């Protein structure tokens, strides 16, 4: 049987330790991200289409903030840039000379 919804129920429970833009170790493992410098799988689409409209001021490394130290810029393993879906154009300006 399901839960009963009532007005204001979403304010009854505040999850501790969760915030937008932060990936827990368990989530990184579930997504197959090798280490802390690996980009999330959705970064390429965000580079192509922009940040989520719900979080206009969220700083996203590789999108509107510098990439972390130790992360590569290329589309290779661990890189923060790459080719968009169905495109042969690089999303990062520094890649255009490598192609």
Residue 25 scores a pLDDT above 60: yes
pLDDT at residue 53, rounded to an integer = 87
Q: Please give the full DSSP string across 36-85, using - where no structure is assigned.
A: TTSPPTTHHHHHHH-S-TT-TT---BTTTBPPPTT-BSSSSTTBS--BPT
Question: Across the chain, what does the average pLDDT equal?
Answer: 73
Q: At 50, is the pLDDT very low, low, confident or very high (cuts 50, 70, 90)?
A: confident
Nearest Cα to Cα of residue 80 among 88, 68, 89, 98: 68
- 58-83 tens-digit pLDDT: 888 888 888 777 776 555 555 556 54
Q: What is the pLDDT of residue 97?
A: 45
Local confidence band at 91 (pLDDT 50, 70, 90 cut-offs): low
Which domain does 19 fall in, by range? 1-99
Domains contained in the chain, number: 1
């Amino acid at each position: 049987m399901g839960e009963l919804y009532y007005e204001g129920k979403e304010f009854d429970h505040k999850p501790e330790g969760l915030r937008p833009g932060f990936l827990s170790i368990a989530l990184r493992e579930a997504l197959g991200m090798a280490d802390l410098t690996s980009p999330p799988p959705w970064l390429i689409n965000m580079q192509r289409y922009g940040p989520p409209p719900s979080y206009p001021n969220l700083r996203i490394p590789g999108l509107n903030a510098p990439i972390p130290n130790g992360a590569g810029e290329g589309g290779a393993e661990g890189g923060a840039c790459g080719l968009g879906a169905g495109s042969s154009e690089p999303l990062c300006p520094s890649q255009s000379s490598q192609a």
